[in-house]
Amino acid sequence: MKRVAVVGGGITGLAACLRLLSADKGIRVHLYEAAERLGGHVQTIRQPDLGITVEAGPDSMLARKPAAMRLVESLGMANDVVSTRPEAKETFIVRGGALCPMPRGYLGIPFDASCAKPPLLSPAGIERVLQEERLPAELPEGDVPLGAFLRSRLGDEWVDYVGEPLLAGIYAGHIDRLSLSATWPSLVDLVRAHGSLVAASRALAAPRQPGPSRSAFVTVRGGLSSVIERMAERIQASDRAEIRTGSRVYGMETRGPRYRLKLESTSGERFEEDVDGAVIAIPPHAARELLLPILDLPNVDTHFQSTATIVLVYPRTAFGPDLDRASGFLVPRPEGMAVTATTWMSSKWPHVAPESLAVIRAYIGRRGQDEALALSDDELARRAAEEVGRLTGAREQPVWVRVTRFAEAMPNYGVGHLARVAQVELALRSSLPAIAVAGAGYRGVGLPDCVEQGERAAEQVISAIRG
């Protein structure tokens, strides 16, 4: 029986374990996670006294990407899938200390003068966006900064007040330092297909045929940690698998055709394990350091941004009826706030809280604007509650608050990122074919992306060790 190690117990590593176990009955799997818990950034806060189930980390999965939905169904959790409330459609953007509706149109790209109004965008800013339809449909040669591409087509004002908080906010990144190819390559496809982004926005905003519409994002009723728990149960139920939390892999070397892992437990005990292959599901810089004794991998050179989330629970009477019609607000950089965005969780998701409570989650930290992360938890929560209260007109203070910090959590893919990842993958296939890397630092930060990467890495390792 062949032995395969999976290093890293986030959703990527867990997905790799399940694929290894299901694809080849002649494989034994050992999962090693340095922390005492599995799931990585997936963390569900469950507060039974308040009836609250809310995510501290990622709160949903993109439904159009099938990997995560296939996983949920394979775990027998299809009936637990929850869609967003259809009423919570509106998103606001802060300008001048006030909430302004996000422009109508795909990704907030106006397609006529009625789609956006001052003060969010000035008349000149709106006109500059609409001029894009008359620009040549020139496409970049190779990879370029996401911000540079959008500024050249839609202008600085739209980028600074709509594009960056919406598109770069997903990565807690700086729009002028993110790779277009690695983050939003679909924008190039839209120009190619429609001739301009404005024309694409008009086409995509056209009324659709009547019929049921599917929520773009889904989650599960018990919280995303329940998916992690079910994955772990499946793995532990196998007599060909073992999970070791609190076990850090600090070294790796070759032993003939096999590999020797050097491990250290949280108690300081050191031990070794020999394996035939491995899926390395940890950040690229950590994977590179681990593999350095046996292969000097190219440097992916990805910046990881620290963030924090603050869950604020209010009496529902603190807000007016408008709360139920919105999903949250985004904060552009020029506003200079600690909060970069909020999700109005109890409006967006039906399972988060009882009707007597309103739950708002605030995000802190983005590249080049993360001074607030130096504050204590108490001060950070006070700052978030003050900014959220001022913008929403909250009539009462939060009755419960929870701060969760994520150190170096969000990968910011720089220009040329995908080419560097391809070099890493080629080097491994050429020199160490039974070792594969996967995770948010490589080819996508969303949960479906991570699941798919874990499964593909597992298949690569199986193919290599079976020859």
The series of mean pLDDT values per 10 residues for the chain, 467 residues long, is 97 98 94 98 97 97 93 97 93 97 97 95 97 95 97 98 98 98 98 98 81 78 97 97 98 94 96 97 98 96 97 96 90 98 96 97 97 98 98 97 97 98 98 97 97 98 93
Q: Which CATH number fits domain 303-412: 3.90.660.20, 3.20.20.70, 3.40.50.2300, 3.20.20.140?
A: 3.90.660.20
Domains 2-41+225-302+414-465 and 90-205 share a fold: no
Task: For the chain, give every domain's residue range.
Answer: 2-41+225-302+414-465, 90-205, 303-412
Strand ranges inside 266-356, DSSP E: 270-275, 277-280, 303-315, 326-330, 339-343
Q: Of 267, 301, 308, 305, give the one whose Cα is nearest residue 285.
A: 301
Between CA 432 and CA 434 the distance in angstroms is 6
Residue 311 vs residues 15, 93, 221, 338, 417: alpha-carbon distances, Å: 28, 20, 18, 15, 33
* Homologous superfamily, domain 2-41+225-302+414-465: FAD/NAD(P)-binding domain (3.50.50.60)
Number of helices and strands (H, E) in the chain?
15, 20
Q: pTM value?
A: 0.96
Between CA 259 and CA 400 the distance in angstroms is 49
**Residue 242, number of CB atoms within 10 A of its CB:** 14
Between CA 328 and CA 344 the distance in angstroms is 5
Task: Quote the DSSP letter at residue 81.
Answer: E
3-state secondary structure of 153: helix
Residue 204 vs residues 63, 221, 348: alpha-carbon distances, Å: 18, 31, 23
Q: Which CATH number fits domain 90-205: 1.10.3110.10, 1.10.3720.10, 3.40.50.720, 3.40.50.2300?
A: 1.10.3110.10
Q: Which residues contact 313 (CB under 8 A, 6 or more apart)?
A: 50, 52, 353, 357, 358, 359, 398, 399, 400, 401
**Residue 398, number of CB atoms within 10 A of its CB:** 23
Enter the tokens of residue 368.
Answer: 């080049």
pLDDT at 467: 80
pLDDT at 341: 98
